[in-house]
A and B are shown apart, each in its own frame.
Chain A
Amino acid sequence: MSAEFVFATAQYESGDWDSAPLLPANIIDTIARYTEIPVAPTGVIVPLSDARLFRYPLVYLTGHLPVRFSDTERRNVRAFVDRGGMLFIDDHNHDIDGTFHKTATEEIARTVAPLTELPNDHPLYSAFFRFDGPPTTSHELNGWGDNLVHKHLLAVQRRGRISVLYSNKDYSSEWNYHPDNKRFLSVDNTRFAVNLVVYALTA
């Protein structure tokens, strides 16, 4: 296992797993800006059905289309969280009536355990930067998707630790831009990603 953190994007059989291609680079840039965590300059794409999945402590999964894991993917994801990995799933449709949400939550319930609301005072929100809950995204504020501003993230927790984190906030759209464009933002909207990474590495 490499000593440096490598951001991994999950590749799965059923959907458009590559719908946010610039997000990994953006998060890597954020980690480099705010922390001293040794981080690889590029991310990797790791198939959920591949044993390489177990090399990465945090795996990011997104998409618009229905999420249906194959048997191998399901077995690997189960083993991944059993071994202490953290799977971060973001609904790129930002729609709780959307097919991604319905199928992904159902698949997680089937594979790991049912998702429950993550309290907004969870250590995740103070793992590095301090947040009062999941930061909102412009996509949910401007009425895209389900017209809702979601107050909580969902999660599967094991022994007080998050195994699967699920978001309807559409961070995949919010963070999917070239890191050089951060200079146009008054407040870096990817700071929450630091909390995700720090939590996944330390909790």
Chain B
Amino acid sequence: MSALDRLRRVRGVLIAGVFLRAALWGTFAAISMIAIVAIADAIAPVGLNVRVVLRVIAILAGLVVGLTFVWRDRRVRELDRVALWIEERVPALSFALVTAVELGDPTLLVDMRTSDWTTLAWHRGLSRLLTPLAALVAATVVLLALPSGVVARAAAPRRGDSLSRASRTAANRIDPLVAELRPPVYSGARRQEIDEPRDVRVLVGSVLTLRGRGDAGGIIAIASADTTLASADADRWQITLRVSAKPLAIRLTDGTHVRIIAVEPIVDAPPQVALTLPVHDSVLRVPSGRLPLAAEATDDYAIASASFEYIVSSGEGETFTFKSGVLGAVHSSGKQLKLSATLSLDSLHLKPGDIVHLRAVARDANDVTGPGVGASETRAIRIARAGEYDSVAVDAAAPPDAEQNVVSERMLIMLAEALEKQRPRLARDSVRHESHAIGVDQKKLRRAVGDVVFTRLGGAPTGEEHTDESPERAKTMQEMLARADSATNRSIDPVDFEGGESPVVAVNKPLLEAYNAMWDASTALELGDPGAALPHMRRALAAIQKARAAERLYLRGAPPPVVIDIDKARLKGKDKGASSTRRPEMPIDSVTSIRANRLDHAIEIARTSSSAAADSLLLLRVDALADAPAFASALGDAAAAVRRGDGAAATDALARARRALVGAPIVRDSLSRWGIIP
């Protein structure tokens, strides 16, 4: 091995020494800091977040210290520095080594003794490790001398480690307190621990375990009417409860010491299901073919299964029969699910009038309180009856082409008014020509109205044409209505309509009035007299407006109107029999007023004992959780604020609670007239 190689070996030893030393100092720094945190925590409890941050700082401090040492000795990797370091310790070399390294000429190093260089480097390196090693050992001894739980709180802080903290003799065994929450398996949620639980939100069916230090004797938990005794677990006690759907206030008692833990159960919501196919209800003419079905389901935890359900109802009046079935069932374990299937209408053997009710149903995996069942909206597929085609739109038809050349009645009136205004300045022929043109448009519009009326009356849309120029045209509206009524009420009894009119008369009266007015208007216009036509045209427009604003009737739900004669039913008139006086019941002291009183009481005792007030607010919160969530939420905030002594936040939360309970205060501009304050 040449002298240069030996020099490189020495450099390697020195570099290793530098890194080792840096590592020792870095570790010492980190361990020292953790030890300091642990001691501080043993003296006064340090919060979880602070401990997490301090642990990160300790690790960073160790890294910084180690890197500082490496940086300070960074030149140890330069060969000439190593040569110089050897020259300082072996003066006999007379700078030959440095010169050889600088010139890169190894021949200068021939016959040079190199065996003691490495030894020198080892001695040097080990001697410099002694101090950090001693420091590290000292820090480690300190750390080992501390209770293991104390060190763990500083080295690996986590929720629920408050029981590990060393403390002087506690006044009671329910302080400190840790709650462990084990959600039901189906939820897939993780176990969690909470230090000093006050207000716990947990899924229904979870197992809640309260733990504390000391023996179990005499520690009891009272929840509703149930009392649970603590059981021993090594040097600790524990109480295990299962969370039901009802909000709970657990009173934990150790002798005269009481702690209250509010438990707000989170109820597993049933799945949300949306039926995406078919998109809407339908009426089918022929009960055959295949109907594609599709749905989507989501759940807050997990969906176990989903399927489509159908019910076929047959019959009418008082005789209905039903059959039902399930199809497209799928199983799952995810939070979302898409399902699809096809329903064969032929297989259902449907008859006219039958209705198929379709929906999608999903069940969640809740095996504790469930399963929760969610269902989609129901679609109804009805098979049309043979006799309903004339009145029921079986299939959506395209709208008829709009007749572009029909001018509205309002526009015709404007044209006629303009012509009437210009009439003194125009020649008679011009007036007649223009008036005739308006009359032609009026005639077209009258035919359009006639089509509507005759279509409604059950005739062909062109029915008006048969009577257009006929001398038999109904001269009066009453005649027209009578003819229409007789034409459409030939065989069936009319539905009893408001005012005693038949439906034909009631529905078509305004349009027939417009129709006749247009007839008179067009006659006047064709005679070249727009002034005479205008009153008829305005009457026609008013009738159209009336028809447009007419009440839409839902014929199916129109039962025979039976108006009860109240006085007759009460036999009033001759007999003056006096009935007993009925006194109204006294208003019940409502839940709201009880809660308001309890809230007032809690605020009152806050002046003397904040913890008692916080407990009172928590108990009130548990009572209100089921039916007044906004009030309960505000109370939770208020209890937390009262407990930590934050007066402003407590006031704000209590104001929110009061508003949620009794509503916003009524703002008045001035005192009421009968107010007691002058």
On A, residues with C-beta under 8 Å from B are 11, 14, 17-18, 21-22, 25, 28-29, 32-33, 36, 39, 41-42, 45, 64-66, 68, 70-71, 93, 98-99, 103, 106, 110, 158-159, 173, 178-179, 202
Asked if B311 and A99 make an inter-chain contact with CB atoms under 8 angstroms apart, the answer reads yes
17 A-B contacts (beta carbon < 8 Å):
A14-B357, A17-B557, A21-B560, A25-B563, A29-B564, A29-B569, A36-B570, A36-B582, A41-B565, A41-B566, A45-B557, A64-B318, A65-B320, A99-B322, A110-B270, A178-B562, A202-B585
Instruction: Note all chain A residues with C-beta closer than 8 A to B579.
Output: 36
A143 to chain B, nearest CB (A): 14
B535-576: CB near A (< 8 Å → 1, else 0) gives 000000000000000000000110111111110011000000
Instruction: Note all chain A residues with C-beta closer than 8 A to B380.
Output: 14
Instruction: Note all chain B residues with C-beta closer than 8 A to A28.
Output: 564
Instruction: Note all chain B residues with C-beta closer than 8 A to A178.
Output: 562
User: Which of B270, B320, B359 lies at the interface centre, i.e. has the most chain A CB atoms within 10 A of its CB?
Assistant: B320
Given the complex of chains A and B, what is the CA–CA distance between A45 and B557 in angstroms? 8
B591 to chain A, nearest CB (A): 6
Given the complex of chains A and B, what is the CA–CA distance between A202 and B584 in angstroms? 8
Instruction: Give the contacts of B596-622 with A (CB-CB under 8 A).
Output: none
Asked if B570 and A33 make an inter-chain contact with CB atoms under 8 angstroms apart, the answer reads yes
Asked if B311 and A66 make an inter-chain contact with CB atoms under 8 angstroms apart, the answer reads yes
B355 adjacent to chain A (CB < 8 Å): yes
Asked if B562 and A66 make an inter-chain contact with CB atoms under 8 angstroms apart, the answer reads no
- Name A82's closest neighbour in chain B (CB-CB): B627
Instruction: Note all chain B residues with C-beta closer than 8 A to A39.
Output: 564, 566
On B, residues with C-beta under 8 Å from A are 270, 311, 313, 318, 320, 322, 324, 355, 357, 359, 373, 375, 377-378, 380, 556-557, 559-566, 569-570, 579, 582, 584-585, 591, 627
Given the complex of chains A and B, what is the CA–CA distance between A77 and B553 in angstroms? 24
- Name A26's closest neighbour in chain B (CB-CB): B562
User: Which of A33, A98, A99 lies at the interface centre, i.e. has the most chain B CB atoms within 10 A of its CB?
Assistant: A99
5 smallest CB-CB distances across A and B, nearest first, come from A21-B559, A68-B378, A25-B562, A32-B569, A99-B322
Given the complex of chains A and B, what is the CA–CA distance between A125 and B556 in angstroms? 35
- Name B321's closest neighbour in chain A (CB-CB): A99
Asked if B320 and A179 make an inter-chain contact with CB atoms under 8 angstroms apart, the answer reads no
Instruction: Note all chain B residues with C-beta closer than 8 A to A70.
Output: 377
Q: Contacts A68-B377, A68-B378, A99-B322 hold; do A22 and B559 have CB atoms under 8 A apart?
A: yes
Instruction: Note all chain A residues with C-beta closer than 8 A to B560.
Output: 21-22
Asked if B375 and A110 make an inter-chain contact with CB atoms under 8 angstroms apart, the answer reads yes
Instruction: Note all chain B residues with C-beta closer than 8 A to A158.
Output: 627
Q: Contacts A29-B569, A36-B579, A65-B355 hold; do A14 and B378 have CB atoms under 8 A apart?
A: yes
Given the complex of chains A and B, what is the CA–CA distance between A190 and B359 in angstroms? 37
Partner of B320, one of A14, A18, A25, A93: A93
A179 to chain B, nearest CB (A): 7
Given the complex of chains A and B, what is the CA–CA distance between A1 and B570 in angstroms? 24
Given the complex of chains A and B, what is the CA–CA distance between A173 and B564 in angstroms? 20
- Name B579's closest neighbour in chain A (CB-CB): A36
Asked if A32 and B570 make an inter-chain contact with CB atoms under 8 angstroms apart, the answer reads yes
B560 to chain A, nearest CB (A): 7
B629 to chain A, nearest CB (A): 12
Given the complex of chains A and B, what is the CA–CA distance between A21 and B569 in angstroms? 20
- Name A20's closest neighbour in chain B (CB-CB): B559
Instruction: Note all chain A residues with C-beta closer than 8 A to B557.
Output: 11, 17-18, 45
Asked if A68 and B357 make an inter-chain contact with CB atoms under 8 angstroms apart, the answer reads yes
User: 8 other contacts beyond A39-B566, A178-B562, with CB at 8 A cut-off?
Assistant: A18-B557, A32-B569, A42-B562, A66-B311, A71-B377, A99-B313, A103-B311, A202-B585
Given the complex of chains A and B, what is the CA–CA distance between A105 and B373 in angstroms? 14
Asked if A65 and B313 make an inter-chain contact with CB atoms under 8 angstroms apart, the answer reads yes
B576 to chain A, nearest CB (A): 14
Given the complex of chains A and B, what is the CA–CA distance between A3 and B237 in angstroms? 63
Partner of B564, one of A64, A110, A179: A179
Instruction: Note all chain A residues with C-beta closer than 8 A to B565.
Output: 41
Instruction: Note all chain B residues with C-beta closer than 8 A to A64.
Output: 318, 320
Asked if A179 and B562 make an inter-chain contact with CB atoms under 8 angstroms apart, the answer reads yes
User: Which of B375, B378, B556, B565 lies at the interface centre, i.e. has the most chain A CB atoms within 10 A of its CB?
Assistant: B378
Asked if A33 and B569 make an inter-chain contact with CB atoms under 8 angstroms apart, the answer reads yes
Given the complex of chains A and B, what is the CA–CA distance between A107 and B378 in angstroms? 11
Instruction: Note all chain A residues with C-beta closer than 8 A to B377.
Output: 68, 70-71
Given the complex of chains A and B, what is the CA–CA distance between A173 and B318 in angstroms? 9
Instruction: Note all chain B residues with C-beta closer than 8 A to A179.
Output: 562, 564, 569
Q: Contacts A33-B570, A99-B311, A99-B322 hold; do A42 and B563 have CB atoms under 8 A apart?
A: yes
A77 to chain B, nearest CB (A): 15
Instruction: Note all chain B residues with C-beta closer than 8 A to A106.
Output: 375
A181 to chain B, nearest CB (A): 11
A45 to chain B, nearest CB (A): 6
A91 to chain B, nearest CB (A): 12
Given the complex of chains A and B, what is the CA–CA distance between A70 and B375 in angstroms? 11
Instruction: Note all chain B residues with C-beta closer than 8 A to A36.
Output: 570, 579, 582
- Name B581's closest neighbour in chain A (CB-CB): A36
